[in-house]
Every structure is written in structure tokens, then in C-alpha cells.
């Protein structure tokens, strides 16, 4: 952008020797002002992007620590699950018996009501 402004200024010096009208000078001044505003806006965008990149790099560096912590949790859960034993009510034969008693009880009750 700076090179563009330099080229415009050099070309203006050549144009002034040819003689620019007032209207052309106003247009050229407006174009230069617009270019300066665009440059300022682009510089703000670059600064914002640099901040985002810095924040992203911090997040990425912290994710390694997070992954290590989660892997430790998984290992602890595996150790804990080996030590935990099912209670007496987590027996499949007990659930089977409940099912049989429910079916037999409903049939017996249906015969008594009939």
C-alpha cells in the first residue's frame, strides 16, 4: 500500500507538470484519503488477527496439559472399576426370579379374579 501511495505521489508530480484541473485534484485527494482510511482499517484487522493467533496458540498449548489430565482420569477410572464389585441385588438370577414371580403372580391373580 505504501508503494501504491508513493507511485501515486510520483505520478502526481508528473501530472502537475501537465497541469491538472481543480476537479482532478479533488478526485485525487479523495482517492488518497480513501486509501489511507483503508490502510488504517487493514492495520486494525491485522492487529485483531494477531491477538486471535496469540489466543489460539495459548489454547493449543494448554490442550496438551488437558489431554494428559484426561488420560490420568481414564486410568483412575479403570483402576476404580476393577475394585468395585457388584452388590447382591445386581445378580441376574435375582432379576430372572423377579420376572418369573411377576408372570406367575399375574396369572394366579387373574385366575382368582375370574
If asked whether residues 69 and 93 sit together in one domain, one would say no
What's residue 7's pLDDT?
76
Q: Are residues 31 and 73 in the same domain?
A: yes
Give the dihedral sign, CA 77/82/87/91. Answer: positive
pLDDT in tens, 36-94: 999 999 999 999 999 999 988 888 888 989 999 999 999 999 888 887 777 767 778 88
Q: What is the pLDDT of residue 45?
A: 96
Q: Which of 10-24, 44-58, 82-96, 100-114 has the lowest mean pLDDT?
A: 10-24
Q: Where are the alpha helices (DSSP H) in the chain?
A: 2-18, 22-83, 92-113
Q: Are residues 18 and 68 in the same domain?
A: yes
Same-domain pairing of 92 and 76 = no
Query: What pLDDT was estimated at residue 24?
Result: 84
Q: Is residue 94 located within the same domain as residue 107?
A: yes
Domains: count for the chain:
2
First-residue to last-residue Cα distance in the chain:
97
What torsion do the CA atoms of 43, 49, 50, 53 make, to the nearest 10 degrees?
A: -170
- What is the pLDDT, as a whole number, of residue 85? 74
Q: What's the rounded Cα separation, in Å, for the pair 68 and 80?
A: 18
Q: Which domain holds residue 75?
A: 2-83
Please state whether the predicted TM-score (pTM) of the whole model is above 0.75.
no
Claim to verify: residue 8 and residue 59 sit in the same structural domain: yes
* 37 shares its domain with 63: yes
Q: Does residue 18 carry a pLDDT above 80?
A: no
Amino acid at each position: 500500500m505504501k508503494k501504491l501511495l508513493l507511485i501515486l505521489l510520483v505520478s502526481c508530480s508528473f501530472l502537475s507538470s501537465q497541469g491538472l484541473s481543480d476537479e482532478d485534484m479533488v478526485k485525487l485527494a479523495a482517492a488518497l484519503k480513501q486509501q489511507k482510511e483503508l490502510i488504517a482499517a487493514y492495520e486494525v484487522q491485522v492487529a485483531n488477527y494477531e491477538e486471535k493467533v496469540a489466543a489460539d496458540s495459548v489454547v493449543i498449548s494448554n490442550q496438551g496439559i488437558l489431554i494428559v489430565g484426561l488420560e490420568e482420569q481414564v486410568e483412575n477410572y479403570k483402576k476404580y472399576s476393577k475394585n468395585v464389585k457388584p452388590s447382591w441385588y445386581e445378580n441376574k438370577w435375582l432379576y430372572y426370579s423377579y420376572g418369573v414371580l411377576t408372570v406367575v403372580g399375574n396369572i394366579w391373580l387373574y385366575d382368582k379374579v375370574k
